[in-house]
């Protein structure tokens, strides 16, 4: 009986301390780099009573703080999103088109800032209102909303399982929802800095914004 009481007290203490905000703060502070596979499901809001349609894509993700990350979309179409610390590059392989934006202007209140760019929770709170959300699907969640009024992002939820990043749920101002699920996450992985360097392919149409 005494052992059970001790276990119960410990379990309550863990529950009291465990939260999505704690997980997010620990992730931002302690995880300096990482790589994972991802699956992304984008669902547009239904129109005129029609059933909502979803599109699924998948690929790999790498990042290194501060401010460097790479999404490599492999299916169903090849696409790259690379942030090198100065510029965010979007490369559509089929169109052979590159879009380049200054990173300081592109990332402030974006999901990428939540997981890859900021170096501490205070930096995130400059751009986001952050709060614990209810546990769901075995995950502990943080709900974030951008402070900037002109942001195209409505909200983002970040889900953790046992202190490990597992999901991002993003809703834009048009009601489109994007759910990114990470798997095989390797924290503090050794990543070659050259991975985040991007040079537009020969003949590609480059658009700078």
How does pLDDT run across 140-161, given as a tens digit for each residue? 999 998 887 767 888 899 999 9
Q: Name the residue with higher pLDDT: 4 or 151.
A: 151
Averaged pLDDT score across all residues of the chain? 84
pLDDT at position 152? 80
pLDDT at position 162? 86
3-state secondary structure of 21: helix
Residue 186: which of 31, 64, 35 has the closest Cα? 35
Mean pLDDT of 153-174: 90
Token pair recorded at residue 158:
């970040």
Judge whether residue 127 has pLDDT over 90: no
Whole-prediction pTM: 0.84
């Amino acid at each position: 009986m005494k052992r059970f009481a001790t276990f119960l007290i410990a379990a309550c203490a863990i529950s009291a301390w465990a939260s999505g905000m704690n997980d997010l703060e620990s992730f931002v502070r302690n995880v300096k780099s990482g790589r994972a596979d991802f699956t992304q499901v984008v669902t547009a809001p239904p129109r005129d009573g029609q059933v909502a349609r979803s599109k699924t894509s998948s690929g790999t993700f790498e990042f290194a703080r501060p401010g460097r990350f790479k999404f490599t979309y492999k299916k169903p179409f090849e696409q790259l999103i690379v942030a090198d610390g100065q510029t965010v590059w979007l490369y559509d392989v089929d169109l052979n088109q590159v879009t380049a934006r200054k990173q300081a202007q592109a990332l402030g209140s974006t999901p990428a800032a939540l997981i890859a760019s900021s170096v501490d929770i205070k930096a995130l709170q400059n751009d986001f209102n952050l709060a614990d959300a209810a546990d769901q699907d075995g995950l502990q969640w943080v709900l974030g909303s951008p402070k900037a009024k002109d942001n195209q992002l409505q909200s983002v939820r970040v889900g953790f399982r046992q202190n490990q990043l597992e999901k991002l749920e993003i809703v834009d101002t048009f009601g489109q929802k994007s759910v990114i699920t990470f798997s095989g996450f390797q924290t503090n992985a050794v990543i070659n800095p050259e991975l985040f360097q991007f040079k537009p392919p020969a003949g590609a149409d480059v658009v700078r914004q």
